[in-house]
Chain A
Amino acid sequence: MRSFGRPVRAARGAEAPDADAPAVQLQGLTKRFGPVLACADVSMTVLRGRIHGLLGQNGAGKTTLMRMLAGLVRPDAGRILVAGRPVTVTDPATATALGIAMVHQHFSLVGRLRVWENVALGGRGRLDSRWTRREIGRVADGYGLLVDPDRRVDELTTSERQRVELVKCLIRAPQVLILDEPTSTLTPPEARHLLSVLRRVVSDESRAVVLISHDLDELAHAADEVTVMRDGAVLARRSAAEVDVGELGRLMVGDQLPAAVAAPAGEPREQVRLRIRDAWATQARRPVLRGLDLRVRAGEIVGVAGVEGSGQGALADLLSSLLPLDRGNVEVDGNPVPPGRPGAMQRAGVGVVPEDRHVSGCVLDMSVAENLAMTDLGPVSRWGFVSRGRLRQRAEATIREFAIGGASPDTPLRLLSGGNQQRVVLARELGAAASVLVVAQPTRGLDAAAVEHVFARIGGLAAQGVAVLLISSDLADIRRLAHRIVVLHRGAVVGELTQATADPQRLGLLLGGRPE
C-alpha cells in the first residue's frame, strides 16, 4: 500500500485519542547539550484550531523544544502528550505516525532529488511517481501553493523550497504542523501568503500550528497564542487578545540589560573609516542583505545586534571578502573595495575575528608562532623567506601580552585549551587591523579574565583610531563596549540606539523587526 508515512498506530490499550484534548501537551521537557541547558523544565500546551506562536531570541531553546516533539532530539526529562495520550517520540518516523510534521529552520530537502522524490521520501509502500505527483497537485491546489513536482530542488528559490516543505508536510495530513522561523528568509508578500496558508490549515481542518518566530508584528497578527521563551525557559503565555507587542519585546530581551560597565573608550572622531552603502546580497539563493547601510567612524565602536537570519553573519562575511554584493558598495577610508574578491578587505586594512575561530581561524596542527604569523608574513620574513628567529620573537611577545597559557611559540595549537586557541586568533587579528576591526561573538568560549583582556584591547584599538564593528548575539557584549548599537532585521538596519537610549523594550522591538 502506498502512503506518505507509517499509519497512525491504534491507540495503546483502551485509551482512545481524545478529540477534545489539546493537540500537544509538553510537560517539564528538559534537554542539556553538554554544559548548555537548552530547555529547562518547559511546559506548553498547543490547542487545535490555533496558531501557536513561539517567540524568543537566538539560543532561547525554541528549535530544541520543537525538535524534541519531532523526534530529532531525545529529551532528558519530561513528558509529551499527543491528543491526550503520553507518547515517546523516538525518531522522525514515529513523529510522522503521530501526526507531527515540521518545516525545519534550515530546510531539510535533498537538493539533488526532484520535488516529487523529496515529497515521497519517508513514505511507505511502492514508490509511485504518478500517484505522488497527483497528490502533490491536489494538496498544492487546495492550499494555493505553487510547486512543480518535476523540478530539482537545487534549482528552486528559497520560497519555492519552502512551499515544497509545506506540501511535504501537509500531504501527510498532520495534526500538528511546526514551522521553525519560516518567514525569516521570505519577502514580506511571501510571508503574508505563508501566514494565510497557515490560517487555512488551522481553520479548515482544526489542526494545530506552532509558528516559531522572532518577528513581533508577525506573531501579534498571525498567532492566536504566544509563548515567550528565554534561556531555555518559558517566561509567559499570552492569548491574541492580551498581546502587547511592547511587552513581548521586553520579555524576549529580558527585564534588565546589563549596565554599561565602563564608558566606551574615547570619543569617536569625524573621519568615516568604514562605509557600506545599500548592500544587497544573496547566499545559497537566499537574500541575506537587503539594502544595508552602515557607517563607522574612526575611534568608534559600533555594536551590531540582530536575531538569526537578520544579516549579522552576512555582514561579517562581507567584511571577510567571502560575500560578493549584488548591489551596493563598500568603502574603507574612502577607497572603494571590491566585495568578494579574496583578500581585498584584508589588504584594505580590515581585520576580522571570525565567529567560528576553530573552523576558519586557525590550523590546529601548526605551531602557535605559525598560526600567529599565518595571515601576514611580512613582518617575519626577509627576502621572501620566513625568518624563524623573528617568528619566535614576535610569538613570544604576543604570548606574554595575551597571557596565552601553556604555550611556547613551537607548541602545536591543538595542545592548547579552547580558550587559549581563541586568544591566538584574537591576538593575530587584533594586531592586523589597520583601519577597521570586525569582531564576531567576541566573548564566545572565553573565560571572564580573557573577556576583560580582549575588551581592553578592543577599547585600546578604538582609542588609537581604529573603527570597530562588534557583531554579537550577546547583548551584554554590545552594551558594555559600543558607542552606538545598530539593530539588523532581514538584512537591513531597522534602527539605531545609543547607550543612553537603549532600553529593553526598544531593543526588543527593534530585534523583532519593528522600527519606532
Chain B
Amino acid sequence: MTGLELVLASALRLSVPLLFAALGEWIAERAGALNVSLEGMMLAAAFGGYVGAVATGSSALGLLCAAATGLSVALAQSGMSYRLTVDANVVGLTLNVLVLGLTSYLPAPTEPVDVPHLTVPGLSALPVVGGALFDQPWPAYLLLGLAPALWWVGYRTRWGLELRACGDGPRAADASGVDVPRRRRQAVLVCGAFAGLGGGYLAVAEVGLFNPNMTAGRGYLVLAAVIFGGWTLRGTLAGCLLFGAADAMRLALPALGYQFNPQLLLATPYLLALLTMTVLARRGHGPAALGVPFRRGLT
C-alpha cells in the first residue's frame, strides 16, 4: 500500500462512525434540538453494541443492541428536556458524564469480535481509492442507503417538513397544529438510534473491543460537523469526512516517517473543528430556534 492509499483508507474508516452519528444529529438539529448528549449516546452504544456482539456472537445483533442503547440514552435526554423542561444542555452534559462513568465501571468482556469485510470484486483492486471505498466492514455500506433515505424523509415527507418547521419557527408550527415538543422528542430518538449505530460501529466493526472512553470526543466532533455543513445534510457529511481525514493524518504521518509531537497530532481534528466553527458559525445559517425551548402560550 502506498502512503496515500493508507491515509485514504483510514480516513474513510475513521469517518464511518461520525457519519452515522451525524445523520442523527442533523435531523435533531433541524428540529431545533441540540444534543450535547451525542457523545454519551455513542459511548453507551459502543459498550452496549460490543457486549451484545460478544453475547450473541453476531455483529448484526451487536449493532442492533448499539442502536437500542443509543436510543435509551436519547429517551432519557428527550424525556428530561422535551417532556419535563430541564435545560437540554445540562441534561446532555450530565448524561455524558454519567455514561462515561458507567461504561468505565461496568465490566466488559475482553474477547475481540470480528466483522467480515464486504469486498467488491474488481473495484476493490482499483489503485488509490479501491481499498478505501470498496473494502470496508459490511455495516459501513448501510450508510449508502441510510443517508439518501434520511434526506428524503427530511425534505419530502410531512414528518420532515414538520421537523424543519419546529427548528425554524416553533411558534408558527404550533399555531399551524404541529405538536412541537413531540416532534422534537421524536427527532432526538431518531438521533439516538443513529448515534447508537455510530458508536456500535466504532466498537464492533472498527476496533473489535470496548475501551473506556473510546469515543474520545467523537460526539462533539459530529456537533462541529453539523455546524461545518451549515446544517445541510451534504455539508454535514462532508464535515465528517474532513474530520475523519484529519484523524487519519494523525495516525498516518508518524507511520510515514514524519515526526510530530504526538499530543499535538492527537488534537488536530479538534483544532480543525474549532477553526471551522469560528469561521463558519458566523454565517449563522442554523435553524432559528436551535436550542431554544418551546412552550405554548409564552409570547
Contact = CB atoms under 8 A, between A and B. Distances in A.
Contacts of A72: 174-175, 296-297
Q: Interface residue tally of chain A, by bracket?
A: 20 to 34
Interface residues of B, number: 23
Contacts of B169: 108-113
Most chain A beta-carbon neighbours within 10 Å: one of B156, B158, B176 = B176
B288 interface: yes
A444 interface: no
Interface stretch (B34-42, B93-101, B159-167, B259-267): B159-167
Interface string A117-140: 110111111110000000000000
Given A73-B297, A92-B177, A108-B175, A127 B164 contact: no
A238 interface: no
Interface in A70-100: 70, 72-73, 91-93, 95-96
B171 interface: yes
Nearest to B172: A108
A439 B162 CA distance: 42
Nearest to A129: B156
B173 interface: yes
A168 B172 CA distance: 12
B121 to A, nearest CB: 40
Contacts of A73: 297
Contacts of B171: 108
A394 interface: no
B176 A108 contact: yes
Interface in B278-292: 287-288
A113 B165 contact: yes
A121 B178 contact: yes
B114 interface: no
B5 interface: no
A117 B164 CA distance: 10
A113 B168 contact: yes
B173 A121 contact: yes
Contact of B175 (A104, A112, A124): A104
A121 B172 CA distance: 9
A121 B165 contact: yes
A126 B297 contact: no
B159 to A, nearest CB: 8
A102 B297 CA distance: 15
Given A111-B288, A112-B288, A127-B158, A122 B168 contact: no
A121 to B, nearest CB: 5
B177 A127 contact: no
A93 B177 contact: yes
Contacts of B168: 110-113
B165 A110 contact: yes
B177 A5 contact: yes
A145 to B, nearest CB: 18
A36 to B, nearest CB: 13
A411 B161 CA distance: 49
A70 B297 CA distance: 12
Contact of B158 (A91, A111, A126): A126
A92 B165 contact: no
B157 interface: yes
A111 B289 CA distance: 12
Interface string B163-195: 011001101111111110000000000000000
Contacts of A102: 175
Query: 4 nearest interchain CB pairs?
Result: A122-B176, A93-B177, A110-B169, A122-B177
Given A102-B175, A108-B171, 9 more contacts: A5-B177, A73-B297, A93-B177, A110-B165, A110-B172, A111-B169, A112-B169, A117-B165, A122-B178
